Amino acid sequence: MKDETKFSVKDLNLFYGNFQALKNINMELYKGQITAFIGPSGCGKSTFLKTINRMNDLVEGVKITGNITMDGVDIYKDMDAITLRTRVGMVFQQPNPFPMSIYDNVAYGPRIHGIRKKSVLDEIVEKSLKQAAIWEEVKDKLKKSALAVSGGQQQRICIARTLAIEPEVILMDEPTSALDPISTLKIEDLATELKKDYTIIIVTHNMQQAGRISDKTAFFLTGEVIEYGDTEQIFNNPRDKKTEDYITGRFG
């Protein structure tokens, strides 16, 4: 697979007040691939993920230096956050459907973007739920509350809600940590399927998950990227001893 840059990160530093959470991050994130961020709690991987759709903008006292470009455009200087987040969707650790019907959850984004026509919305809802591999399970209960289905199903509905506004990139922050193994494997299959059309960046504590689904893996430690490369290389033969120690469990 040819690596085509989607994001280019240059000299990125992030401070929460006096605390430096990200230190001089330089990396390319590639289109049509799944990139996994791994590392112990507090290493900065989720913080870095959130810089990609500017979720950190809302945190008080945050200061960011350096830059991130998407398709060559600086997402902090030359793009507003709303446009960015339309193009870069996000799925969180806890499934967070809105307290409304399954249909309304998925149609929420398109409605905000001004789509009112029922036939168009119907089509978007069906397509998104199908893409999220949940359509067959919920097609007869679209009017039911999204909170009434299982956690694994809720998470796929949230993914469908993300897909409904047709983003280019999906950020996933530990999307399966609250799910059972069957739902986890469904989300993993789904991610592998979706990377044909989307760029996916996933933070995971589950190393086997990173191994199963990602093309590239970055190992974070105390705010730095210690090693970044093809997942196969990172898991079989990491170059850095710190990476080796972490993935083989000789850590702490």
Partner 1 sequence: MRYSFIAQLEELNNNVIKMGSILELSTNEMIRALDTIDVEIAKQIIARDDEIDLLEQKIERDCINILAKQQPLATDLRKITSIMKIITDIERIADQCADISEYIIKLSKMPRVKAPANLGNMIEAMKKMVKDTIDSFVEADVEKASTVMKADDVVDKYFGDICDELSDVMQKDSKVVPQSICYLMVIKYLERMADHATNIAEWITFIVTGDLALG
Asked if 146 and 175 touch (Cβ cutoff 8 Å), the reply is no
What's the min distance (Å) between Cβ of 180 and partner 1? 18
Cβ atoms within 10 Å, residue 19: 9
Pick between residue 117 and residue 250 the one whose CB is nearest to partner 1. Answer: 250
What's the min distance (Å) between Cβ of 208 and partner 1? 6
Binding site for partner 1 (CB under 8 A): 207-208, 211, 235-238, 243-244, 247-252
Cβ atoms within 10 Å, residue 113: 11
Encoded tokens for 220: 């974070």
Cα–Cα distance, 68 to 120 (Å, whole number): 35
Q: What is the DSSP string of 4-60?
A: -EEEEEEEEEEEETTEEEEEEEEEEEETTSEEEEE-STTSSHHHHHHHHTTGGGGST
Pick between residue 18 and residue 236 the one whose CB is nearest to partner 1. Answer: 236
Cα–Cα distance, 223 to 226 (Å, whole number): 9
Pick between residue 137 and residue 245 the one whose CB is nearest to partner 1. Answer: 245
Pick between residue 41 and residue 236 the one whose CB is nearest to partner 1. Answer: 236
What's the min distance (Å) between Cβ of 238 and partner 1? 5
Backbone angles phi, psi at 225, to 5 degrees: -90, 110
Residue whose structure tokens are 């026509």: 117
What's the min distance (Å) between Cβ of 224 and partner 1? 19
Cα–Cα distance, 228 to 247 (Å, whole number): 13
Pick between residue 109 and residue 211 the one whose CB is nearest to partner 1. Answer: 211
What's the min distance (Å) between Cβ of 231 and partner 1? 11
State the DSSP H helix or E strand holding residue 16, giving kind and residue range, or none if neither.
Answer: strand 5-16
What's the min distance (Å) between Cβ of 248 and partner 1? 5
Pick between residue 103 and residue 219 the one whose CB is nearest to partner 1. Answer: 219
